[in-house]
Amino acid sequence: MNDDFKKILVAVDDSDDAILAFKYAIERAKKDEASLTIVSVLEDEDMNIYQALTKDYIHGERSELEQHVLDYQKQAQEAGVKEVNVIVSEGEAGETIVKDVIPHVEPDLLIIGSESKKGIAKHFGSQAAYMAKYAPISVMVIR
């Protein structure tokens, strides 16, 4: 059995666990000579109703997230990963990654941190558990 992965997907946010997951994903992608796709999800419940009604707020949050993901892409490229793609999506992280991102990217490994930042900190453990349970591919949870 070949233990190398060809397409790795890593989910990122600002949490320490996600940064560890990202660093592991870089090393794994280099070792396996795999492509790396970095995904981050703008979670709707991070916004209150007034913010949700303000397009500028959503646009601001999303463009900030997009810039953040591009920074991750640059880091991965500078670390020596040859093919690095990025995706920014919206919704609930676990469900969005399992139902939308994985079918689109078709990775053979998902790497995630076990916890997350601010608004989703309380339930990202459950997001990680959701992805580990429902993803149709191997899932590595980093902590």
Reply yes or no on domain 7-142 having CATH 3.40.50.620.
Answer: yes
**In the structure, what pLDDT confidence band is assigned to residue 140 with cuts at 50, 70 and 90?**
very high
Percent of the chain with pLDDT over 70: 80
- In this predicted structure, what is the pLDDT of residue 120? 46
- Residue 139 to residue 119: CA distance in whole angstroms: 23
DSSP string for residues in 6-50? SEEEEE--SSHHHHHHHHHHHHHHHHHT-EEEEEEEE-GGGS-HH
Over residues 55-65, mean pLDDT: 75
Give the model confidence (pLDDT) of 10-28 as tens digits: 999 878 889 999 999 999 9
Residue 45: band (very low, low, confident or very high) from pLDDT cuts 50, 70, 90 = low
Instruction: Report domain extents, the chain.
Output: 7-142
For the chain, percent of residues with pLDDT exceeding 90: 59
Nearest CA-CA partner of 45 in 116, 109, 110, 104: 116
Q: At residue 121, does pLDDT exceed 60?
A: no
Burial class (CB within 10 angstroms; exposed 0-12, middle 13-18, buried 19+) of 18 = buried
- What pLDDT band is residue 1 in, cutting at 50, 70 and 90? very low
What count of residues does the chain have?
143
Whole-number pLDDT of residue 70: 95
pTM for the model stands at 0.86
